[in-house]
Amino acid sequence: MKKSISLILLYSFLCLTILPTWSAHANTSMVENKMEDRKQLFDHMSTVTHIPWYYFAAVDQYERNTSNQKKKREITQTEEYKKRITAIHIPLQAWYGAMNLMQTKQSESNVMLFNGIGRDGDGDGLVDHHNDMDVVTTMASIISKHGTSDSDMMRGLWDYYQNDRIMKRITQLAAIYRHFDMIQLEGNAFPVPLHANYSYRSTWGASRGWGGRRIHEGTDIFANHGVTVRSTSYGIVEEKGWNRFGGWRIGIRDVKGIYHYFAHLNGFEKSLEEGSIVKPGDTIGWVGSSGYGKPGTQGKFPPHLHYGMYKDNGYIDWSFDPYPYLRKWERQERKRR
């Protein structure tokens, strides 16, 4: 009896400790393998079509970032979609043709008969919206509709999306992927050095009096004047300059479509401009007390960094609480030291 209890306790220990760790490593490995397979597919299609791989990666990541939109959710939540390595979603009516009643894989000639844009990429004679090769081949035909120069490819994407906001996001993503020459851009950094004297607490959603009644869309990190402010992610500088509430501020858009807002700075890293590419830990400015006045106004409140996060849902940016992420990045960075 005691032996049975001991075995049960040992099994329970394994389930609670070793197995979750193994599962986490297995999940991480699966994600990494998918990303490697995705990059290989994009490289292959680049060789075949002469379209730089980072355009495929940019479209794929934009679609991935907005996969939870209501119009996409029905497709992206299916088991067939989840098995794919790419996230590019082309509406079925456009893929198979608006008048085509058969919205499943079929011959390319039949799809073309109904003016569908789906194309056979793997050479099996069929067009299937669940087949990654077919999907990327179809996107290649969209991008290269007018040619393969940068301006021609932008025209092709515009013909398809016809949305300035989407075009901006895809252009930003392409620039980031081109700069780093990889799609596996994971990892974050805490916005101020851990050795600095700083403090913060959860203040997102609290009422604010400065500049009119409104909620606080971020977390204030109080630190000494001049403490280094660092990029928290891989991304591109979307905005830089003066904001009437935020003072000297920088906005960085990361690869997941999240806008990271750094406000009340004392100054900027001189090499940074709109369009600059950054990685986690890069210096972007310094803690200050700027804001609430004409450009250059300082000292109306103690020096601190206002840090906000905004998610692009495809239509607007909406604020969400950065505090849990700050705590997580802080813990992760302490473990790496």
Q: How many Cβ atoms are within 10 Å of 89's Cβ, its own excluded?
A: 21
Q: What is the pLDDT of residues 257-292, one digit of tens each?
A: 999 999 999 999 999 999 999 999 999 999 999 999
Question: E strands along 98-256, which residues?
Answer: 106-107, 126-127, 198-200, 207-208, 214-215, 219-223, 228-230, 235-243, 247-254
Spell out the SS3 assignment of 15-68. HHCHHHHHHHHHHHHHHHHHHHHHHHHHHHHHHHHCCCHHHHHHHHHHHHHCCC
pTM for the model stands at 0.87
**What is the token pair recorded at 90?**
């082309």
Q: pLDDT value at position 41?
A: 97
Which residue type occupies 74?
A: E
pLDDT of residue 216: 74
pLDDT grade, residue 30 (50/70/90)? low
